Amino acid sequence: MMRSVNERIKDIGIMRAVGASHNQIMKVFIYQAIIIGIVGGVFGYLAGTLLAYALGPVLFGVSTISPVPQYFPLALGIAIGVAVIATVYPAFRAARIKVADSFRSL
Amino acid sequence: MLEVKNVTKIYGEGDARVFALSDVSLEVARGDFKAIMGPSGSGKSTLLNIIGGLDSLSSGEVVLDGRCVNSLNENALVDIRRGKIAYVFQQYHLLPSLTALENVLLPLMFGEAEVSIEKALDILRRVGLEKRVGHQPSQLSGGEQQRVAIARALVNDPLLVLADEPTGNMDQSTGREIMDLFQQLNEGGRSIIMVTHDPEIARRAKETIVLRDGQIVDRVNHKTGGSKC
């Protein structure tokens, strides 16, 4: 997420030059993080479940693996939380760079 | 409308101090069109950035419409960028993932005014891009990208347009078209400050201010042809 924010410092400068406030810039990145978190959480849960089916019997010597859907909201929440936390600080810093500096940083 | 009073900008500290601008003063009236010329590193873009509140100054004052721009907090600067000042850059600075129309809508989306697609389309029509509204910047020529940038600058009806070498990346004929657009805007009452290297472009303004080593060394009035320094 930090890399994504850093790569978009010029975009942040453009958005600020046309009237975006710090809060609006933060929202752009936080919404993006939420979407990445949702996509990552869903795919992570599905991939983890499939992996458990494939490797569970081999690693743990059990005959059947049953999915636990109750963990899905937790997995999704953690994925979104991690993505948002990883975004807030770099986005906060990037939104405070002087517009002129964000163009010079290229 | 705009007063720049004794503005100095210093980069670095101690022995490494560099005076990017030194005691620069100028005034811009409503409907004025000023060109700022000078060699690379003379402080042209720094002056433009300071006037627009994109960069800070070391001393002096920039007063726009009665408000001291350099002492405003970030929220007040955001208000100025949403209504009073708009920028046109040499590198266009369009968001690459958005279409021409979306780039023009951007200032309206961040501002408090109504997001009017009709208004954005009308401005794109005025700059001759009515058939390119759905194209992304990578699908447009340099001249077309600059027209989108001009349309984006105009969508909030700014008092003052700050243009940093808007024709710098263009061939002569495209540059002339862009300058025709700026001249139309000025004739419509918009104030313009434009940085340029090109004396021919500068002659299209009402006055040229020549900077060297961060200081104003000449002012040429293109109506009277007189030089003040």
> Average pLDDT over chain A, rounded to whole?
85
Classify residue B50 by burial, with Cβ atoms within 10 Å: 0-12, 13-18, 19+. buried
* Contact call for A19 and B54, based on CB within 8 A: no
User: What is this model's ipTM?
Assistant: 0.80
d(CA A52, CA A62): 11
Residues of A in contact with B54 (CB under 8 A): 17, 98-100
* pTM of this structure: 0.81
Q: How many domains does chain B have?
A: 1
Six-digit token string for A88? 């807030």
Residues of A in contact with B49 (CB under 8 A): 99-100
* Interface A-B: count of C-beta contacts within 8 A: 50
Query: What torsion, rounded to 10 degrees, do the Cα atoms B45, B47, B53, B59 define?
Result: 140
Provide the pLDDT confidence category of residue A71 given band limits of 50, 70 and 90.
confident
> Average pLDDT over chain B, rounded to whole?
89
pLDDT digit string, tens, across residues B24-61: 999 999 999 999 999 988 999 999 999 988 888 999 99
Classify residue A75 by burial, with Cβ atoms within 10 Å: 0-12, 13-18, 19+. middle
In the block, tokens 């690459």 appear at B96
The reported pLDDT for the residue numbered B168 is 83
Residues of A in contact with B56 (CB under 8 A): 98
Provide the pLDDT confidence category of residue B226 given band limits of 50, 70 and 90.
low
User: What's A18's DSSP letter?
Assistant: T
d(CA B221, CA B209): 9
What number of other Cβ atoms are within 10 A of residue B52's Cβ? Answer: 26
Residue B228 lies in a domain: no
Residue B71 lies in a domain: yes
d(CA B68, CA B94): 29
Residue of B nearest to A27 (CA): B110
pLDDT digit string, tens, across residues B184-225: 889 988 999 999 988 888 998 999 999 999 999 999 887 776
* Contact call for A17 and B94, based on CB within 8 A: no
* Contact call for B78 and A13, based on CB within 8 A: no
Residue B226 lies in a domain: no
> Side chain identity at A28, as an amino acid letter?
V
Q: Which of B56, B78, B89 sits opposite A21 (nearest CB)?
A: B78
pLDDT digit string, tens, across residues B90-119: 889 999 999 999 999 999 998 877 788 999
Over residues B162-168, mean pLDDT: 89
Residue A55 reports pLDDT greater than 90: no
What is the distance between the terminal CA atoms of chain B, rounded to a whole angstrom? 24
Residue B227 lies in a domain: no
User: What CATH number is attached to the domain comprising B191?
Assistant: 3.40.50.300
Closest listed residue to residue B86, CA positions, set B62, B55, B117, B54: B54
Provide the pLDDT confidence category of residue B227 given band limits of 50, 70 and 90.
low
Residue B169 lies in a domain: yes
Structural domain that includes position B126: 2-221
